[in-house]
Structure 1
Amino acid sequence: MGGIVITLFLHQAVLGLERTRSGYDFARRQEIRIALIKGSFDEAGEAVRAVNLLFRSSDEVSDAQFIRFTQPLIDTYPYVHGLTSHRFVLGAERAAYEAARRKVWPDFEIKEKKDGGFVRAGERPLYLVLDMIAPQQRNASAHGYDIWSFAPHRELAERAIATGQAMASGLVPMVEPVGRLGIVITLPVYGPLSPGAGSVERRAAARGVSEVLIDVYELVQLNLRHANLAPGVEITLSRQVQGQSTMREVGRFGSLDGGEAAFPGKLVGSVLFDRTQRFTVSGQAWELRSRAREPAIAHLGSVLVLLTGLGFSVAAAAHVQGRSRRVAYIQALVDERTADLRRTSEALRLSQRAIESSANAVILVDALAEGTPIIHVNPAFQRLHGLRPEEVIGQPIDMLAPDGDEQPALHELHNALRERRESHVVLQLARKDGARWFADIYLAPVKDAQGVTDHFVISEYDVTTARQYEAELEHRAHYDTLTGLPNRVLLTDRIARAIAFARPQGWPVWVVALDLDHFKHVNDSLGHAAGNRLLRQAGERILALAGPTGTVARTGDDEFVLLLESRIDERQAAAMVNEVLAAVAAPFTEQDQRLFITCSAGIAGFPGDGCDAETLVKHAQIAMVRAKEAGRNAVRFYLPSMNERAVERLALVDAMRHAMSYSEFELYYQPQIALATGEVIGMEALLRWRHPQMGMLRPDRFISLAEETGLIVPLGTWVLRAACAQAAAWHRSGLGELRIAVNLSSRQFNDASLPRLIESVLLETGLPATSLEIELTESLMMENVDAAIATMRELKAMGVQLSIDDFGTGYSSLSYLKRFPVDVLKIDQSFVRDIENDTNSTAMVAAIISLSHDLGLRVIAEGVETEAQLAYLRSRGCDEVQGYLFSRPVPAREFEQMLRDSRLAALQGAAVRPIG
């Protein structure tokens, strides 16, 4: 460290001397550059003075004499781009002067600059004309140029004439070379002039001026190149802008070394010299700035001092370090051996503690002794096996396995011990008290220094709980958790095995799909807990009748599948299924209540109805659906026509999903007639589907499917909005305040947002709430009476009218009818149709009309098709009617025309027959 400190001190001292010398040299070279540049400007000024002397010495100088005199000057000073002579010409002398000059220059005339070129000068009292110029070839076009007409040039000439001194112009762009800047030095030429004359006398005696054009860039570059002052230096020449304090750059010469400094300069830090000096040329201020990086060679001495000192210091340090390292190595070797012994001892102690503290049993056996006896066990072994160490040490490893146990894993363990290799097995072992448990066993050989296996380490992990979980998961994967019956996965496997067994002999296999009828009512009325108990009881009854060869599986909420494979024929299969239906139909007991529930069944058989489990189950379910459609609590065998119908239903559902997007649905309207006046007072909106292939479809073809799939909700919303919009449009067109009746599905009515939907539709369409009548069926309202009443009251508060459709065909509870806030009862057409030939229907119609009037309700009869029916209804005081006697349901356009014709007939006093 002492050597490095001394070395750095000496290095800084030498470095300071080197930098002082470099700075002095840079300043000296800067002075030389300025002297050369200023001298060149002075030489150019001498050239113009020589031209001036030529004109003073002779009154008449020819062009040839001028060229011979100036050519040596131009050759001597390459940066001089032109020497010119200008003479004053009076306006009165212009014609004579131009005629004299044309003898030398045929096209000569006095010109001035305009629009970037030369044109004939205008008439003026005085001209300062460019009379002679060298070199002629380069500047021939300028002959005759009147510089007096150009204000900056005229000002320069006036200053020179007034002072009698050479004056320099500002920077002017040069024509050639393009892009460079030059200056013009002007010197006046006088006639006879007395000494001490003032500016007035000088102006009076002035005959003209002589000028020299200097390429400043060329002047500087030639001087720097000849003096070798440009390499490695960036030189910037600037001139003061005339009349201002700012400087304008004329040119930049040379370049500053942009690369990295050489090693010595990089080591000591390269210094950038920057020096700016001003000087004057012909009364104008100039500025020269030089920038250069300190040369690396300038610091060779300081670098050598630094490197030499560092070298000596490093050598001395290496010698001392080498001696210290040998001593430290010996000490480190002693410490390492001591630490190794300590680590080995700690590792042995830690290994022993780990084995003793392990939660799993660890057994050490001697691989070289006969019978591979146990030589050590840890405390966990005693906890798992129930044996003390003294009971097992020295005993062969076979004593741990149960007597006479033939587990394949035990043979694998013996083979691994014999072959001296690793192994992993799962064994069922017995504790001392006889309890069985599962152990996950890992066998690992321990080798000596020569690679011979002399011991084994056996690790045992208790996996009994994991095995129980696996068994439970296996059971859950194949059995229903509620009923304990096989699920769909196990059912599929059993059907596949039954088919594989029956196929060679051609025996039948029967798959029966069972579904509890109206099971949803049990959950809704008694709760899901009661429903679950009923499902378990139903499964037990079906399983009791299936027999030892049958399989009963639960495949859905209230769906079971029965597999029959006892080689019975079709008649026997149907008889057995009927027994199942009878057993299910027997009353169930739930909390001291007797429940009755039925079951529908569909049967599909192998090989006639399918050759795999999926097909057979699907066809059995199709047959079961047909049984439900036939009235429930019935059995149906699968027929191919059933599948065709199912496919047709699926196709119809798919087409229905797209029908709204393609505007295939439309509304038909059937008029409702007031019997008292015979006028159309309203209409019922009826949905039709114009199917692209099947033509016009009535609602009974697709409404039930829409209910099943949930499409009834968006479809019903569309019907409500379209019907209200059409009724509002007829109101606005002057066809009367007609009432529009719209039917609601159960899904729509049970939706809590129904009142908000109707309110928004009325607001959107502008239809008065009193012109909307919502038709509800008795069964729809009876599903949840309290909720139905709450919804109906909300609608009534809005002003919407309510009617009960198909009255007399449902529950017809008079107590509920009293609670329902309805306005209209609609007599079902089945009663109206039989008025003429059935006294019971006649009495029923009369009773409904009387009941409605007693309750303050209007009554409307639908399905009126004959005059006799109409006469009877009128005689009983029925309020309104609708039916084919008046009109079938028709599209909106026809209905509107019908209304207009009816109103026209009324205006003309026609007999009242509402709509013929």
Structure 2
Amino acid sequence: MYSVSARRSLGTGRGLSRAAVVTCLLGLMLTAALCGVVRTLETERANAEFAQRAGVRVAAVTQAFFKAVDAARAVNLFFRASHHISREEFDAFALPLVANHGYLKAIVFQRFVSAAERPAFEAERRAFWPDFQIRERAAGGAAGGAAGGAAGLVRAGERPLYLVNDYVTPILGNAIAFGSDVWSHPPLRRVSQTAIDAGAPVASPLVTLLQGGGGRRGILITVPVYRGNERPADVFARRAAVVGHTEVVIDVALLVGGTLHAVRLLDDDAVGLSLQGPDVDGQIVTAYRHGPAARTAGWLSRISDGNTLRHVESVDIAGSHWQVVVEEQSQAFGRHAGELVTLALGLVLSAATATLVQQRVARTRRIEALVRQRTAALERATGSLRVYERAMASSANPILLVDARASGYPIGYANPACERTFGYAPQELAGQPLALLLGADIEQPSVQVLLASLRQQREENALVTMHARDGAELITDVYIAPVRRADGKVGHFVVTVYDVTTAKRYEAELERHARYDTLTGLANRALLADRIERATAAATTGMSVWVVLLDINHFKLINDTLGRAAGDAALRLLATRIKRTLPPLDTAARVGGDDFVLVLCGCSDERQAATRIRQVRDAVAEPLQLGDQHLVLGCSAGVAAWPADGADADTLVKHAEIAMYRAKLDGRNGVQFYAPHMNAQASDRLALESALRRALHEQQFTLHFQPQIDLATGRVVGTEALIRWRHPLLGTIQPERFIGLAEETGLIVPIGAWVLQTACLQNRQWQRSGLGPLRIAVNLSARQLAEPGLLDSVERVLQDTGLPPASLEIELTESMMMGDIESAIHTMACFKRMGVKLSIDDFGTGYSSLQYLKRLPVDVLKIDRSFVQDMVGSADGAALVDAIISLAHGLRMHVIAEGVETIAQLDFLRGAGCDSVQGHVYSRPQTGERIEVLLRAGHIEPKTSTA
């Protein structure tokens, strides 16, 4: 029977034995297990490799955004480093940033402009941009700022405040953004307000860019600029101190796509990347996409195309939250090839093993044990190697592995960061000597240090100047570490390179600001002291070093009349002239305001020093053109010599300053060499200045009054207020001694305000006492006339004292008005509208023009005492006074002669038709109590003697 023979066959050696069946089953089970392990390993490997690729892409995009934020901070720090940034300085700073960051469409400075400032602002910008106007987004347009729909920009409506794109770099391609108003669009206004309150960079939502058309989208990173260049401590102070914003405009597509393309991350079409973020409506939209989108993972797609790998990572960009999504469609057959091979081999091996199990059981067991051991070791080695490789490839800094045994130390491995830093692809560097990257100047001491460490097989680091492939100079910090083999010998070196170019250049710039004046580029006080010490140390026997302090005469008038911008421009031009005039070994420094210090070397005596100083003063005196203004400036110079006048820099500068003040006291525009007796005079002047400051606080000033007599009636019609200083120790100090000092120190402004208040109050008391509508004459200084709040202060004094405006007469000297005639005419016209009387004091002693005189709204002309003294006994003097009186009457002016001391002078003036006089012939200046006695007497008779 078949069944019996079959059982017999199984019982013999011709059929499969139980051991073979068991072995076969075990082989199948082992094959399944190995397939599972391989599947898991391949899945983990695929996921790890995908995570690496995704991480590199996310890191590249994140780093690009951080660099954009750093660019915004750099522009803001530039504004914080200087009080005033011109358009040219802004372009010079911003253009390299735009060139270095291709995704930056523009760098913008936005300025707050009020409705009152708008006409002047637009007019000033039209001077160089004819069609300039402040524009805003029309209804239904896109976002403003440096972005928005081009077709939607119209002239901005009337509003209290605008935030205008004032500086736009580069202007080429960004002209449409110039002048657009950010404040008119609520979403961007919220971004601006958030940045102001936070005092930090804030990113906008996704907007449509103005530049280039085509609906390109981007984001704006805004950083506030505060008055005073320091961020205020609280929100309310920041809102009050903000003057504008610095802003970078980022083309998102260029930033993401350009960054990934630069590092060769767009070459793999299987990997897709998208950037998602908020738009102006708060919706999350896709700002950028590259590569295929993920498909629905059905069973058929899983078999043919595999699974979709997805990595999502959040990125914070200056307070705005974005997501980078990386997707990859894995290939099923390629992904599971190892698993299929393992399965096939397992089946074959199981069948073969089952066939030979009876003869080779022992060998099979040994082979299985060996396979398991080798598999585990391979897995561990492969995993470690993969981790090390990913770590080196993901590093942001260049890492190289060089052979320590071969000549020239050839490069065996270079990570991707080498291409970003040096421009060489890793495969290009393979096999090249390390000297290729150590710099073109192989003789650098730091390069020699590194080469010595390679020869001695030890660790080392040094600062090396390298050059990239395109020739760009890089300052790098290079670390070299040996890699030892199991036997202790060095087989390779790991070379790590850190690019510190930006940090070193920033340090150099900070060092320059610490030693040079930011406005003129000349040395500052710190560098000046060093230059003086070097010059004195290098001076040869018999040679002197001369320290010269130059003060520009009346420079404050430029700031007061033309503005500080014009003053700064004038200082830069003067600095250029001074530096051009001096020899290379001499030094020019600016030590504040309009003061310059020169350090002259190689002059053996005063004659040679004076010649060199005269050359500098001649250069300063050359005509200066500021806009449509033509200026001629002079300077006063004080000179101190080493070693005769001082042994150190501080003493020499102090003595030069003392000599300069002596030159100013002697009439300005001169040169004085220091002499020891000047120290005492400077001390006296300093003591007088200190006493003058205390005098106002301690009420040491008083007013004297000199009556003005009407020649037709002999009655007192007014008085002139004259200040006197009663010092507790020095007694009465005459105005001639302290008025000039008050002008120089600026104390004339509070002193003049006190005189005006006190004189008006005294005159009002006399009027209330029934003494009639008396006038009170008060002198104004040039410093007071230049004060912006003069009109308001005079009006406030009249309101506080109750004095009628017609009872106040303000006296101005003709030389003071001629300094800035147009401004003086405007101020005088305002006084006339107020109702105040105006007079010209000391007429004839200045350089006024009759062309201007007829334009001045003057009520009274005062003849100077020098003409009054010469008119009796001198036909020319008499004719001159007669002509002045006729001229004044012809211009419908009242005439007062001052300094009248004799009856003969009085009779001449009465005969010439003079209206009023004041002088010792009637009364000397006296206190208010004594003058009141004369006022109550009514009619005053002249004195026959004024002794």
* TM alignment of 1:378-457, pairs within 5 A: 378-382=415-419, 384-385=421-422, 389=426, 393=430, 397-398=434-435, 400-401=437-438, 405-414=442-451, 416-417=453-454, 422-430=459-467, 436-445=473-482, 455-457=492-494
Q: What is the CA distance between 1:777 and its match in structure 2?
A: 1.9
Identity, in percent, stands at: 55
Q: What is the CA distance between 1:416 and its match in structure 2?
A: 4.5
Q: Structure 1: how far apart are the matches of 2:535 and 2:881?
A: 60
Q: Structure 2: how far apart are the matches of 1:425 and 1:728?
A: 83
Change (3 A) 1:626 1:837: farther
2:902 and 2:944 in contact (8 A); partners too: no
Q: 2:538 aligns with which of 489, 497, 501?
A: 501
The corresponding residue for 2:281 is none
* TM alignment of 1:298-697, pairs within 5 A: 348-366=385-403, 374-382=411-419, 384-385=421-422, 389=426, 393=430, 397-398=434-435, 400-401=437-438, 405-414=442-451, 416-417=453-454, 422-430=459-467, 436-445=473-482, 455-480=492-517, 483-502=520-539, 505=541, 507-519=543-555, 538-539=574-575, 541-586=577-622, 596-697=632-733
Q: Structure 2: how far apart are the matches of 1:600 and 1:575?
A: 15
Q: What is the CA distance between 1:829 and its match in structure 2?
A: 0.8
Deviation per CA, 1:673-716: give whole Å up to 9, x if none.
Answer: 11112222221110001012221112222222222222222222
Q: Structure 1: how far apart are the matches of 2:476 and 2:448?
A: 15
Deviation per CA, 1:812-869: give whole Å up to 9, x if none.
Answer: 3333333333221111111111112333321121112222222322211100011111
* TM alignment of 1:1-20, pairs within 5 A: none
Give the partner amino acid of 1:352.
E
What SS does structure 2 have at the residue aligned with 1:622? helix
The corresponding residue for 1:47 is none
Q: What is the CA distance between 1:914 and its match in structure 2?
A: 11
Q: What is the CA distance between 1:753 and its match in structure 2?
A: 3.7
What SS does structure 1 have at the residue aligned with 2:604? coil
The corresponding residue for 1:879 is 915
1:602 and 1:620 in contact (8 A); partners too: yes
Change (3 A) 1:702 1:551: same
Deviation per CA, 1:465-506: give whole Å up to 9, x if none.
Answer: 44444444444443445554434332221110111233x846
What SS does structure 1 have at the residue aligned with 2:845? coil
Give the partner amino acid of 1:893.
E
Change (3 A) 1:850 1:601: same
Change (3 A) 1:347 1:628: farther
Q: What is the CA distance between 1:752 and its match in structure 2?
A: 4.5
Q: Structure 2: how far apart are the matches of 1:432 and 1:765?
A: 80
Q: Structure 1: how far apart are the matches of 2:781 and 2:627?
A: 35
TM-score scaled by structure 2?
A: 0.54
Answering whether residue 887 of structure 2 is matched by residue 851 of structure 1, we say: yes
Change (3 A) 1:853 1:584: closer
2:464 and 2:477 in contact (8 A); partners too: yes
Q: Structure 1: how far apart are the matches of 2:572 and 2:809?
A: 47
Q: What is the CA distance between 1:392 and its match in structure 2?
A: 5.0
2:402 and 2:409 in contact (8 A); partners too: yes
What SS does structure 1 have at the residue aligned with 2:871? coil
Q: 2:734 aligns with which of 695, 698, 716?
A: 698
What's the Cα RMSD here?
A: 3.8
The corresponding residue for 1:761 is 797
Q: What is the CA distance between 1:620 and its match in structure 2?
A: 1.8
Q: What is the CA distance between 1:718 and its match in structure 2?
A: 1.4
Answering whether residue 818 of structure 2 is matched by residue 782 of structure 1, we say: yes
What SS does structure 1 have at the residue aligned with 2:897? strand
1:669 and 1:891 in contact (8 A); partners too: yes
The corresponding residue for 1:216 is none
What SS does structure 1 have at the residue aligned with 2:854? helix
Change (3 A) 1:721 1:450: farther
Q: Structure 2: how far apart are the matches of 1:475 and 1:514?
A: 24
Give the partner amino acid of 1:459.
T
Deviation per CA, 1:406-448: give whole Å up to 9, x if none.
Answer: 3332343345556665433111235567765332212345567
Q: Structure 1: how far apart are the matches of 2:600 and 2:459?
A: 51
Change (3 A) 1:454 1:599: same
Q: What is the CA distance between 1:671 and its match in structure 2?
A: 1.2
Answering whether residue 770 of structure 2 is matched by residue 749 of structure 1, we say: no
* TM alignment of 1:97-112, pairs within 5 A: none
Give the partner amino acid of 2:414.
V
Q: Structure 2: how far apart are the matches of 1:501 and 1:911?
A: 76
Q: Structure 1: how far apart are the matches of 2:762 and 2:459?
A: 87
1:667 and 1:688 in contact (8 A); partners too: yes
Answering whether residue 801 of structure 2 is matched by residue 801 of structure 1, we say: no
Unaligned runs of 5+ in 2: 1-374
Answering whether residue 829 of structure 2 is matched by residue 773 of structure 1, we say: no
2:921 and 2:943 in contact (8 A); partners too: no
TM-score scaled by structure 1?
A: 0.56
What SS does structure 2 have at the residue aligned with 1:553? strand
Whichever of the two has the greater Rg, that structure is: 1
Q: How many residues align?
A: 572
Q: Structure 2: how far apart are the matches of 1:874 and 1:469?
A: 78
Q: Structure 2: how far apart are the matches of 1:772 and 1:586?
A: 43
Q: 1:720 aligns with which of 734, 753, 756?
A: 756
Give the partner amino acid of 1:777.
T
The corresponding residue for 1:894 is 930
1:680 and 1:914 in contact (8 A); partners too: no
What SS does structure 1 have at the residue aligned with 2:697? coil
2:903 and 2:942 in contact (8 A); partners too: no
Q: Relative to structure 2, which stretch is displaced further, 848-857 or 788-797? A: 788-797
1:516 and 1:600 in contact (8 A); partners too: yes
Deviation per CA, 1:489-541: give whole Å up to 9, x if none.
Answer: 32221110111233x84631111223444555667788878766765665455
What SS does structure 2 have at the residue aligned with 1:702? helix
The corresponding residue for 2:847 is 811
